[in-house]
Amino acid sequence: MNAFFDFPLVYLPEIFFAIGILFLLIEIVFLGFSTFVLFFLAIGCIATSFLLFLGTIPLAVDKALLATSLISVGSAVVLWRFLKQLTSEKNESQVDEGFVNHEFTLSETISRTSPGSYRYSSVTWQVVPYKDVALQAGMKVEVVSVEVGRFFVQEKVEEI
């Protein structure tokens, strides 16, 4: 064979390793590890690179591509359920935003249809009753839930 065409075969393990790392970087940096397609191809390329380097697979492009595809599909079958579960975990615990349990006195009467306002931490918040009841001006309330720009409050019950 011609020496020019043999050149890539000598560096075939390094080429597959570089392609695998490139796929992995694209998957993580640009796609945010969301599609997994390039991740599985990266696993296939890197594993094929090691098999080529160890001599388990002969230095031939067709054999290397076949090994890459088989390893990629195999890793997808084995890892799919675990990776899908890893990315779809939902945290259902209540987050304490730092404003919950904050107490203040209402300056105006509020209801669900007529919310009030309260200035706290250099922000004017809309104040809405947590339950569907009207809260009177001068009543001491505490924040029980927070949304963007909105405090949900209820009457503060004094403990003896």
What pLDDT digit, counting tens, does each position of 109-139 carry? Answer: 998 888 999 988 788 889 999 888 888 888 9
Residue 123 dihedral angles phi and psi, to the nearest 5°: -130, 140
The pLDDT value given to residue 23: 95
The pLDDT value given to residue 123: 84
Q: Specify the 3-state DSSP secondary structure of 46.
A: helix
The pLDDT value given to residue 54: 94
User: Does 46 score more than 80 pLDDT?
Assistant: yes
Query: Are 100 and 143 in contact, with CB atoms under 8 Å apart?
Result: yes
- Superfamily the domain 103-155 falls into: Nucleic acid-binding proteins (2.40.50.140)
**Would you state the structure tokens that stand for residue 146, as one six-digit string?**
């927070």
pLDDT digits (tens, 9 = 90+) for 49-83: 999 999 999 998 999 999 999 999 999 999 888 87
The pLDDT value given to residue 160: 63
- CA 60 to chain CA centroid, Å, is 39
Q: Domain residue spans in the chain?
A: 3-87, 103-155
Q: Specify the 3-state DSSP secondary structure of 99.
A: coil
Q: Against a cut of 0.75, is the pTM above it?
A: no
- CA 34 to chain CA centroid, Å, is 8
The pLDDT value given to residue 89: 57
Q: Specify the 3-state DSSP secondary structure of 76.
A: helix
Q: How many CA atoms lie within 13 A of 82 on its CB side?
A: 5
Query: Are 105 and 61 in contact, with CB atoms under 8 Å apart?
Result: no
Query: Band of the pLDDT at 155, cuts 50, 70, 90?
Result: confident
Q: Which residue has the higher pLDDT, 158 or 91?
A: 158
Strand pairing category for 116-120 and 150-155: unpaired
pLDDT digits (tens, 9 = 90+) for 137-147: 889 999 898 88
Query: Are 136 and 120 in contact, with CB atoms under 8 Å apart?
Result: no
The Cα 130–Cα 124 span in angstroms is 18
The pLDDT value given to residue 158: 74
